[in-house]
Amino acid sequence: MAYRPELSAASAVLTREVEVLDERGRASIIAIPAERPLTVYVDKRELVTLMTLGGAPEALTLGYLRNQRLVRSLDDIVSVHVDWDVDAVAVKTRHGIADVEERTSKKVVTTGCGQGSVFGGLMDDVDKIRLPDAARLHQSTLYGIVDTIRTHQSIYKQAGSVHGCALFSARGELLYFVEDVGRHNAVDAIAGLMWLEGMDGADKIFYTTGRLTSEMVIKGAQMGIPFLLSRSGTTQMGHMVAERIGMTLLARCTGKHFLLLTGKERLVFAPELAEVLRYA
């Protein structure tokens, strides 16, 4: 069995009800996302405060440390304990984070909703990433993924104002679906879940409702995933990084429509499927 650090189980309530008035002065009760701060402490040192729904705070913390390249191995983490009474998570490591002051001194604010950030240069270690050349995605599987997302029960359908990320198998089976106030949090939470399960990304497909920015591409690559799909678009830097590391990007994935931007050799086209009537 893969090693797992000691974890709390502190999933928070994801929505709250508030009273609103519409344009005619009529009162009603609606649900809104329950955003809250989560301050990360590593070996009693304050690292960062994340704004999150708190649905998977332990996985979010692990994924954040992984994707920021602050902790290289899950074995280095002893415990992750979340305490919502003080809006904090305490991470205990075996040997500390080497050169933590230097590695966290340079912060880049990203375009992620909720204003994400990354430590160090965005392009650090990118050239060392190797994604599988042999991975393939059939157009029918792509359509199945889009339909799964369309019909999946979500906080967005109930309350709006959140982004979602999902991990699929090569056959299009939904493995994880996480929503948060920012797509950077959702992708970090999935990275944490994969880390806990010792799951390889080489035969996986990643879906996000948000833009395909450089941050999203780099995080997907760090997870070893060759396919990144979005119902939204991409940025110039996201496109550039994807080309540089050989990732397959598909944007504007809605209904039967999509735009294949990079890594074109990995998609198995079946254009006749696009002629079938759109989903009801």
How many distinct helices (H) and strands (E) make up the chain?
7, 17
Rounded to whole angstroms, the Cα distance separating 211 from 232 reads 5
- Give pTM, 2 decimals: 0.87
CA-based radius of gyration for the chain: 19
| 65 secondary structure, DSSP code | H
Q: How high is the pLDDT of residue 225?
A: 97
Residue found under tokens 């609103």: 20
pLDDT digits (tens, 9 = 90+) for 182-191: 888 999 999 9
Nearest to 75 by CA among 53, 95, 54: 95
The residues, any chain, with a CB within 8 Å of residue 164's CB and separated by 6 or more, are 149, 154, 155, 156, 177, 178, 179, 186, 208, 209
Q: How far apart are CA 68 and CA 170, in angstroms?
A: 26
Give the CA diameter of the chain: 61
Domains of the chain (ranges plus CATH)?
6-123 (3.10.20.10), 137-275 (3.40.140.10)
**Euclidean distance between CA atoms 241 and 19, whole angstroms:** 44
pLDDT of res. 111: 47
Q: Which residue in this structure is represented by tokens 């992620």?
A: 112
Cβ proximity of 273 and 160 under 8 Å: no
Predicted pLDDT of residue 180: 92
Q: What are phi and psi of 100, to 5 degrees?
A: -60, -35
Phi-psi domain of 78 (left: phi exceeds 0; alpha: psi -120 through 50; beta: other):
alpha
Identity of the amino acid at 21: L
- β partners of residue 212: 234
Mean pLDDT, each 10-residue run in order, the chain (280 residues): 91 92 88 92 94 95 93 95 97 89 59 49 72 96 96 79 92 96 92 96 96 91 96 92 94 94 95 70
